[in-house]
Amino acid sequence: MTRLVVIGDALLDRDLHGRAERLAPDAPVPVVDAMEPVARAGGAGLAALLAARAGVDVTLVTALGADAAGEELRTLLRGVDVIDLGLHGATPEKIRVLAGGRPVVRLDRGGESCGCGPLPAGALDGADAVLVSDYGRGVAAEPTVRAALADLDVPLIWDPHPKGPEPVRGATLVTPNLKEATASASTSGEDSALAAGETAGRVLAERWRAVAVAVTLSERGAVVVSGDSPALAVPAPRVAGGDPCGAGDCFAATAAARIAQGALPSEAVRAAVDAASAFVAGDDTPRRHEGDARAVAERVRAAGGTVVATGGCFDLLHAGHVRMLEQARALGDCLIVCLNSDASVARLKGDDRPLVEQEDRAAVLNGLACVDAVVVFDEDDPRAVLETIRPHVWAKGGDYAVGELPEAETLARWGGRAVIVPYVAGRSTTRLITEVLARAR
């Protein structure tokens, strides 16, 4: 099995989820009550857990304090082999108070970095790749750690921190965010994010002698520079809302896992952007399917909006499809497309269909401005997936009667309704296929 060693500072992240419905009488601040604590591993600990979830065998080299927070963090790291270098000080904690899912304030404990013990001999033996997840607390600066990293003969991925040391020379991939990159490179951040990221990335790649530098651009994805080659821009999928805390760790962990499995840095960054976007959306999978569809529906419903859904095969997307989707979107505040899977299309249309596989069909639909999310289903009709999304409106294009739609009865159970929207006459996938075959003769 592929083995990844993660080296860096593990933190204890603690979220206090509550609600804020009034201001304090003695100060213009919200009163947060009914708080429920949720603890999780942060920093290098989170990166290690996410890499393990990506399917690689993970060893975490970190430094934990001899305190209650350190013991709690050890418990949260179960499932990952931990080499504890011993932190000279308190285990760092980040405590967020959230109201309605949004941070109100963050409280930090643990003070400044205090250093740690030396790296045991052989700790990196057998690794297919090494990820440094630096949070500026001293592990990446430990002389024995740096000496071992400088002597590596496997890929090294480095997620830097402003308070930490620079990466050792020769890293395979370094992953600063835009703010970190422009500050470290002393370049301007006044250009577009893409241009600023490329400029800073080239300066840093030269300084660090890195094979590639991927500057992450938040919701805009990432830009990768390598040598004199043109920059590679990797856009991120659209995400509705979500919590970005930990997205950088997800990006670095995914990229490191892919490189450990043999992927090129450019391939690893593509996967990392998708995974980080899904992480922000609260979906554990890197695809914008059912997880995002539920999140979109819940967000719109919570805001008092109208959730609209539609469905179909959408093989060879044409003007009729686009017009129908635009009309469906106009009926509410979001549009979720329930897309027949390849197996479902074959059962409905015949073994020679679909012409376009489901991942590509979903990608084309996601590219339309009128589509907010796509969910793929394997059944012959979308009734099961509708139960999970519970839209207010189910819109179908064509010459159906509402009574002919099997979904109508399902929607009625939660007060939803099925409607028909006009379609563009003469536009159909079957007609396109027939025309292509006729011209090919």
Residues annotated as catalytic are: 249
Integer Cα distance of 232 and 224 in angstroms: 5
Integer Cα distance of 189 and 187 in angstroms: 7
**Pairing verdict, β 393-397 and 417-421:** parallel
Asked whether the beta carbons of 379 and 402 are under 8 A apart, the reply is no
Asked whether the beta carbons of 427 and 316 are under 8 A apart, the reply is no
What count of other Cβ atoms lies within 10 Å of the Cβ of residue 291?
17
For 250, residues 6+ apart whose C-beta sits below 8 A from its C-beta are 46, 47, 50, 272, 275, 276, 279
Q: How far is CA 197 from CA 171, 178, 221, 419, in A?
A: 18, 6, 11, 47
**Pairing verdict, β 373-377 and 334-340:** parallel
**Pairing verdict, β 30-43 and 57-62:** unpaired
Integer Cα distance of 166 and 159 in angstroms: 10
Integer Cα distance of 410 and 389 in angstroms: 12
